[in-house]
Amino acid sequence: MAQPVILGFDTSGHHCASALRWGDDNVAHVFEDMAKGQAERLMPLLQELLDQEGFDWADLDAVAVGIGPGNFTGIRIGVSAARGLALGLNIPAIGVSTFELVRGANSTQDQHPQFVSVPAPRTTSYLQSFENGQASSAPKHLTFENMQTHLNETIPVIGLDGELTDIPQTIVRIATHKFAAKQFTPPAPLYVRAADAAPPRDALPTILP
């Protein structure tokens, strides 16, 4: 069976990143550091990547997007774009969480029980459990002391050792597995904690139900 053509992207951090996967694990990607301006840069970046590899929007079988946790506004930019593209192109949109990115490109195929820890603001952490390739609990926002009460010494904990790398490439590889399994739940922002910053002056894009 032909492998799907999947365009993935992420704006959940201080970056605008995208990857295109097709065929026998051919992956092209681009990653641009930026603290702001992702909303203006995202669509031109995607078009440039498609043009570079000789693809058109009509060639896509699915889009994939990083859903966080991460930057509040950045997540909404990415998720809104993914859902808009899916609607306009009549293809699935697939969400990939930061927890799944930490687990790696074979996240959905890794059947082992695990706790996944992701750094959060002010020396706290986000924690989520996985089993049989899927999240088995809602993510929690915990201090180091509170985290110990949620762990099970028989289940390993994995986390980041430095910065998360290969973000868009990992997104499209995870999304390929989800596409094959028909896991097409519309992506939604994964917010584990409430926003603690002043709201932006500009209205945020609407997330459809």
Average pLDDT over residues 103-125: 94
What's the rounded mean pLDDT across residues 167-183? 97
Domain that holds residue 143: 110-159
Model pLDDT for residues 120-145, shown as the tens digit of each residue? 998 899 999 999 999 999 999 999 88
Domain count, the chain: 2
Q: Tell if the pTM clears 0.75, that is, is over it.
A: yes
The percent of residues in the chain predicted with pLDDT above 70, rounded, is 92
- 146, containing H or E segment: helix 144-150
- pLDDT at res. 204: 57
**Residue 193 pLDDT class (50, 70, 90 cuts):** confident
Burial bucket for residue 44 (CB in 10 Å: 0-12, 13-18, 19+) = exposed
Q: Which helix (H) or strand (E) holds 177?
A: helix 167-180
Q: Are residues 83 and 123 in the same domain?
A: no
Cα(61)–Cα(51) distance, rounded to whole angstroms? 17
Residue 134 lies in a domain: yes
Note whether residue 187 is domain-resident: no
pLDDT score, position 209: 55
Give the CATH number for residue 94: 3.30.420.40
| 83 and 131 co-located in one domain | no
Nearest CA to 111 out of 93, 83, 95, 132 is that of 132
DSSP category for residue 61: S
Supply the pLDDT for residue 199: 52
Q: Does a structural domain hold residue 186?
A: no
Distance CA 54, CA 103 (A): 31
Whether 35 and 119 map to the same domain: the answer is: no
Please say whether the beta carbons of 62 and 176 come within 8 A: no
